[in-house]
Structure 1
Amino acid sequence: MRTTLDNPASVAAPFGDRFAHVARVDLAGGGALLLLSGQVAVDDAGVVVAPGDMAAQAGRIFDLIGRLLAAHGSGLGAVLHLRTFVTDLGDLPAYASVRRRFFPGTPPPASTTVEVSRLFLPGAVLEVEVTATAS
């Protein structure tokens, strides 16, 4: 089993290079497990997209996640688990609506959602971590 940490060029580098976007575990029998760091809705300069807007931020986050997965030969269809942090559970319907567009299958991936008092960037209302597989 081989492990690698990666920051694909398809997504802006993490803030201050403090962490890797992707931890990849290549499995002995083939394939890989991908563990993505929590993603927030930022543009390529690291500025929060649509401050306070759950739906817009969810769309941006799933776009970023899709790019990170693609860099490892994977995609949203290979997502096993989503871990979601929101600053207001009252915004959950907006998040759920966007999430259904990106994960239309039944059943959708396993999921955990937690309300938190705040996220590390002002204006960010959502952070999503993903576990997925790759070929």
Structure 2
Amino acid sequence: MRVTIDNPPTVPATNGYYSHVAHVTSGPLLFLSGQVAFGEDGEIDRPGDMTRQSEVIMSIIERLLAAHGATFADVVNIRTFATDLSRLREYGEIRSRYFPKEPPTSTTVEVARLFHPDALLEVEVIAAPPAPAG
């Protein structure tokens, strides 16, 4: 395996659903830009609905990963920018569906606002997909 998830006993245990370290030993890395819940019409899907926006964002990320031969299992880091951390559980319930095993490393911060006034979240990931065959 070229990615090792590690939570060494020499540091405090994580207090959430994330890992301390993802060690990538070889192969390509894929950096995705931050994604917001834009629908096919170019508008934010369901302003005010954290659960729906989380679902849309994860679906977009899933399709971007797939376009490059990757899946959520290849994600080594996820960064979340949220406008209201008191609603983090809504996002977390959706996110945990996509990372049922060892979670990636993670950063989550609250921001005053995002570039679109109806966006509640922006999520970016780094993935270590398998090297292309050939």
TM-score, normalising length: structure 1: 0.75
**2:108 is the counterpart of 1:119:** no
Structure 1 segments of 4 or more deviating over 4 A?
none
Match of 2:100 in 1: 104
AA partner of residue 97 (structure 1): E
The CA distance in 2 between the partners of 1:115 and 1:30, in whole Å, is: 33
Quote the Cα distance in structure 2 between the aligned partners of 1:32 and 1:73. 11
Q: How many residues get paired?
A: 106
Give the letter for the 2:82 counterpart: V
Distance across 1 between alignment mates of 2:40 and 2:93: 25
RMSD: 1.4
Instruction: Map residues 39-58 of structure 1 onto 2, 5 A cutoff.
Output: 39-58=35-54
Query: Residue 61 of structure 2 aligns with which residue?
Result: 65
Residues 33-68 of structure 1: per-residue CA shift (max 9 Å, x gap): 000000000012320001111111111001000100
| Unpaired segments ≥5 residues, structure 1 | 1-28
- Which has more radius of gyration? 2
Shift of 1:108: 0.7
Aligned with 1:99: secondary structure?
helix
Bigger proportion of residues as strand: 1
Superposed, which structure 2 residues align to 1:61-100 within 5 Å? 61-100=57-96
The letter for the 2-side match of 1:133 is: A
User: Greater CA deviation, 39-48 or 78-87?
Assistant: 39-48
What is the rounded CA distance, in whole Å, between the counterparts of 2:26 and 2:86 in structure 1? 42
Q: Which runs of 5+ in 2 are unaligned?
A: 1-24
TM-score (norm 2): 0.75
More relative contact order, 1 or 2 (CA 8 Å, 6+ apart):
2
Q: Distance in 2 between matches of 1:35 and 1:50?
A: 27
- Write the letter of the residue equivalent to 1:114: V
